[in-house]
Amino acid sequence: MRAEGFELYPAVDILGGRCVRLVRGSYETPTVYDEDPVAAAMRLVEAGARRLHVVDLDAARGGGSANIRVVQEICRTVPVPVQVGGGVRTVETASAVLSAGASRVVVGTAFWSDPTMSSRLVEAGVPFVVALDVRGSDVVVEGWTEGTGISITEAVGRVRAACAVVVTSVERDGTMEGPDMETICRVLGSCEVPVIASGGVSSLDDLTALATLEVSGRRLAGVVIGKALYEGRLRLEEALAAVSETRP
């Protein structure tokens, strides 16, 4: 029996038109896993992925939609929902990403810097997910390069209109050192919307721990997995089977 509502989101990160992974958000030493992100996305779906998490890293650092054509081709090609983020600084960009085929739009920097962004996205009919990227206890933005001074406690009170929150511990992302369970528990225990964990997953044990995690009667909605899949630490088929065997 699958943990109720718990989904795996294989990640496809795009930088310079290629499928890459970063470590702790550093753009200095990206690892290229595929020259063709569309092909990488399709392989994940063929392996059983029921949804994807796509990030335009070029846009995340500078805003806009640098890889919108690649995003559009991924959404057109794969037969599963695709949530897309990176560089969504305006409602217009969010709408463009949605028009490109995204099922949900991930918003980070603009959400935390513009108090009106949430209501304007709702008014525009854009289903959105908030990127809650955390370094220590501080929410970070601009491709994880700048702090905001917003604490986790303050942050979770702002996301009530979102479809979900993706919480990423920057210090764990791309390291395969295991999830930051302390941060995840803090968010899960106080957030009113579904929470998706991201960062550090490297093993089936990590997935089981996340799928069975419960704080104040709440469970995670899912997990984003990236480097562990590309490095062969996890096979997607095995990961899906492990989750399906986990009982809530």
Q: Which residue has the tokens 């419960």?
A: 214
**Annotated active-site residue in 133, 173, 180, 206:** 133
**Annotated active-site residue in 13, 56, 58, 173:** 13
Q: Report the half-sphere exposure of 145 (CA within 13 A, side-chain side).
A: 10
Query: Does the annotation mark 138 as catalytic?
Result: no
Give dist(CA 210, CA 22) in Å, integer. 22
The stretches of 102-142 forming alpha helices (DSSP H) are 109-113, 117-123
Give dist(CA 49, CA 27) in Å, integer. 27
Question: What are φ and ψ of residue 118, in 5° steps?
Answer: -60, -50
Listed in sequence order, the residues at least 6 apart from 28 whose beta carbon sits closer than 8 Å to its beta carbon are none
Give dist(CA 29, CA 6) in Å, integer. 32
Give dist(CA 49, CA 47) in Å, integer. 6
Query: Does the annotation mark 133 as catalytic?
Result: yes
Query: Which sequence positions are flagged as catalytic?
Result: 13, 133
